[in-house]
Amino acid sequence: MQDSRPSSGTEETVERVRSLLNRFDELIQEASSYYDVKTLAHRIHILSPKSANISLTPSNGKDVPLALTALIHGVEVAGLAVLVELLELVTRGSLNIEQPLGVALGNIAAAENCVRFIGRDLNRSFGREAIETAEDRRADELELLLARSERLLDLHQVKLKIDRPFWIFPYTKAGYRFARAVAPDVALITHWGKGFSQDGKCSDEWVNSVGGIGVTLELGQNGFEPAQISRGLKAVKCAMEVVAAAAKGNPVAIPGGQLAPIYTWGEIVPYPQTGLPVLDEGWHNFKLVKSGDRLGQFEGQVITAGVSGPVLFPKYPDPMADGSYAKTPPAAELIRILREIKEADLPT
């Protein structure tokens, strides 16, 4: 979650990112023949049916039923491929935009450099007053779209190995229903109470704070894996169908049948005051741990799991150029352990 330096073997990714960014621009240009395209900032657009008469500034509250965002983290590139695929379908005429649709790319400079972020984490920069970095400025630009969006579907990926996609967002009843309607087969992680981060908000959290409905879909591990891209495309198409149906007066309904599990935080293990690797090798997202099992060690003290469940976001620090480790912890948290809950356990 905190790799802000380029890793090796990234040239191919950078090349593909550049060509997708160009394609994104071409497709937006092409789409303007069929749709009304409003550009709020660089690579932040609203595409609407020509009859929709949407203005550059919203006259009354939420005039964009759905916004789709990608590249909020520069290395999470699959979302960019998803949005480009979506625009290919739209410009080819195989997919109709019935309701104003926001499409936006987040940290483009970071993506071009194959890093998560450059100055500060864009996904901890929403709603922040200080303008200290390029990310603070980008968050302000993205907020122009997000403030007027009824719903946000933000596409992300994770750093370490994972065998499934998952939803993750601060719990709201409407966000829960929306995520379930869009991808009922995708595991859902939600949390409530204290914000995810104290300094600046995540995109979904910020959208919730201004009266919208924000959800985040983690497609899998960073990279251009075709299965993740098609899963993401299916989700964004389904989100468009859900909002189109909602606009026609059909409320967002949770499908019946087997639904993927719901999780919340069971335990958050803090990173000890060191920059050294502390976790044992081999932890990856959704690997199961049992209460009392060893997670790692620090200065001869064994760190054990306090609860049983799948783990999330294990942190392994990246060595510096000379192979040594920084003195400070790479993150506040070492690892999270999830606790499975039922729908009835969610706040009312």
Least separation in angstroms between CB 159 and Zn ion: 9
3-state secondary structure of 327: coil
Q: Which residue has the tokens 């690892």?
A: 335
Please identify, using beta-carbon distances, which residue of 35 and 167 lies nearer to Zn ion. 167
DSSP letters of 105-132? E--HHHHHTTSS-SSS-GGG-BT-----
Least separation in angstroms between CB 299 and Zn ion: 32
**Identified binder of Zn ion from the candidate list 45, 151, 156, 336, rule CB under 5 A:** 156
Please identify, using beta-carbon distances, which residue of 156 and 231 lies nearer to Zn ion. 156
Tokens at residue 205, please?
Answer: 């959290």
Please identify, using beta-carbon distances, which residue of 63 and 76 lies nearer to Zn ion. 76
Please identify, using beta-carbon distances, which residue of 222 and 264 lies nearer to Zn ion. 222
Please identify, using beta-carbon distances, which residue of 99 and 123 lies nearer to Zn ion. 123
Region of 42-50, 155-163, 236-244, 305-313 interacting with Zn ion (CB under 5 A): 155-163
Least separation in angstroms between CB 244 and Zn ion: 27
For the CA atoms of 177, 183, 187, 193, the dihedral, rounded to the nearest 10 degrees, stands at -30
Residues in contact with Zn ion, shown as a per-residue x/- string from 22 to 61 under the rule CB under 5 A:
----------------------------------------
Nearest by Cα to 317 from 268, 260, 275, 283: 275
CA 211/CA 204 separation, integer angstroms: 11
Contacts of 253 (CB under 8 A, 6+ apart): 177, 181
Least separation in angstroms between CB 334 and Zn ion: 19
Least separation in angstroms between CB 332 and Zn ion: 16
Asked if 201 touches Zn ion (CB under 5 A), the answer is: no
Least separation in angstroms between CB 107 and Zn ion: 10
Site for Zn ion (CB under 5 A): how many residues? 3
Region of 81-89, 143-151, 154-162, 198-206 interacting with Zn ion (CB under 5 A): 154-162
Please identify, using beta-carbon distances, which residue of 63 and 143 lies nearer to Zn ion. 143
- Give 167-173 contacts, CB < 8 A, sequence gap 24+: 167/215, 167/216, 167/217, 167/218, 168/216, 168/218, 169/204, 169/205, 169/214, 169/215, 169/216, 170/195, 170/196, 170/202, 170/204, 170/205, 170/208, 170/214, 171/346, 171/347, 172/208, 172/213, 173/346
Please identify, using beta-carbon distances, which residue of 38 and 156 lies nearer to Zn ion. 156
| End-to-end Cα distance, the chain | 31
Q: Select the residue whose beta carbon is closest to Zn ion and give its number.
A: 156
Query: Element (H or E) spanning 295, and its range?
Result: strand 294-298
| CB environment 285-294: b (16+ within 10 A), e (fewer) | bbeebeeeee
Residues 64-103 touching Zn ion, rule: CB under 5 A, are 73, 76
Q: Which residue has the tokens 């964004």?
A: 236
Region of 14-22, 151-159, 179-187, 219-227 interacting with Zn ion (CB under 5 A): 151-159
Least separation in angstroms between CB 70 and Zn ion: 10
Please identify, using beta-carbon distances, which residue of 75 and 279 lies nearer to Zn ion. 75
Please identify, using beta-carbon distances, which residue of 35 and 265 lies nearer to Zn ion. 265
Cβ–Cβ < 8 Å for 125, 136 = yes
Least separation in angstroms between CB 289 and Zn ion: 23
Rg over alpha carbons for the chain, rounded to the nearest Å, is 20
Positions in the binding site for Zn ion (CB under 5 A): 73, 76, 156
